[in-house]
Amino acid sequence: MGSEVLVSIVIPTYKGEKFIKQTVESVMNQTYSNFELIIGDQNPDDETKKILKPFEHDSRVKIVNVPKGDGASTNWNYVSELATGEYFKLLPHDDILKSDMIQRQVELLNVNPKVGMTSSKREIISDHGEILKSNWGLDGIKHLTDGREVVRETIKKGRNVVGEPGSVLMRKSIFDKIGGWDFSHPYVVDLSTFFHILMVSDFIADDYNGVQFRVSQTQWSSVLRDSQSEDVIALNHQIAEKHPKFLSKKELFIGDNKAKLMASVRKVFFIVDSLKQRSNLKLRYK
């Protein structure tokens, strides 16, 4: 393990007792072993600490109490600042990594020193682990790509092409250089942060389902808010103002309208998923 790059994986958790064991096990089962796992618990009143107890014997695992503050921003920033690895991933407490994901992503960053981050495709799963959609994300972005072009394509498509935090591995030095997590757009904090990284570095895609991203009923309340599309539009305009010659008015117009359209698509997706789950429950109890 001596010459292997240290990877920091941080898991901010709040009321995460339902899925945290499965998420942590997916990290511990990685084929790449030189990692540190930092879990920040912001809700000491649930069973999370008890569930995590068996993992404490592993020297790579650190479990910390996160002080109460401004919700997710406090937790994300707290655990991220503790990360000491050269490469860095924030993993939501209910997502699941495929066993070779870290190995694959480390190799991609190792051989591409100008790349600030890499991301894989993902599977969207339900509360019950049912795969709702596979091969999600990247949208034709393949191999090594100028980070600025990834930002442009993401804006034009009106949705997060790059992926959620669990699908991404970043260089910690660049993450720190751009100022860490950008909570100025709280409903798209991940995308906002990734944009800052991609404006100053290259991107490499991994055409592989590396993570299962769970969309639970509790998450839908956030996903379905009009505030999310409003934040996407605000982020698009922030990028356009900061980099005046980067986007054309036409590209910005397309991006804004696609963001509104994707908000409607998410609502339809939720309705279909809810009806499907209700149907499954009825069949189960017949």
Nearest partner of 31 among 85, 104, 89, judged by Cα: 104
- Say if CB 221 and CB 132 are below 8 A apart: no
Contacts from 190-196 at CB under 8 Å and sequence distance 24+?
Answer: 190/160, 190/164, 190/165, 191/154, 191/160, 191/162, 191/232, 191/235, 192/235, 194/117, 194/162, 194/168, 195/151, 195/154, 195/235, 195/239
Count CB neighbours of 203 within 10 A.
27
- Verify that 77 and 121 share a domain, yes or no: no
- Verify that 77 and 210 share a domain, yes or no: no
Q: What SS3 state is found at 57?
A: helix
> Which has more confidence, 265 or 1?
265
Q: Structurally, how many domains does the chain consist of? A: 2
Residues 27-56: tens digit of each pLDDT: 999 999 999 999 999 877 889 999 999 999
Least confident span in 172-176, 196-200, 234-238, 256-260: 256-260
Among residues of the chain, what percentage have pLDDT more than 70? 87
Least confident span in 83-87, 136-140, 223-227: 223-227
What is the rounded distance in angstroms from the CA atom of residue 203 to the CA atom of residue 139?
A: 14
Residue 101 within a domain: no
Which value, to the nearest 10 degrees, does the dihedral of the CA atoms of residues 176, 178, 181, 185 take?
Answer: 180
Beta-bridge partner residues of 61: 37
- Verify that 119 and 79 share a domain, yes or no: no
Last residue of a domain, one of 62, 94, 126: 94
- Verify that 166 and 256 share a domain, yes or no: yes
What's the CATH code of the domain at 22? 3.90.550.10
Render 244-280 in DSSP notation, one character per residue: TTTS-HHHHHHHHHHHHHHHHHHHHHHHHHHHHHHHH
- Verify that 256 and 284 share a domain, yes or no: yes
Q: What's the chain's length in residues?
A: 286
- The parent domain of residue 230 ranges over 114-286
Residue 100 within a domain: no
- Say if CB 158 and CB 263 are below 8 A apart: no
First to last CA, the chain: 54
pLDDT score of 285 more than 50: no
- Verify that 142 and 201 share a domain, yes or no: yes
- Verify that 127 and 177 share a domain, yes or no: yes
**How confident is the model at residue 267, as a pLDDT?**
64
Residue 99 within a domain: no
Please compute the mean of the pLDDT values over residues 148-175 and round it to a whole number.
Answer: 95
The two tokens of residue 69 are 């503050």
- Give the global pTM: 0.89
Beta-bridge partner residues of 119: 168, 205
- Which band of pLDDT confidence, cut at 50, 70 and 90, is reported for residue 152? very high
Residue 192 within a domain: yes
Residue 104 within a domain: no
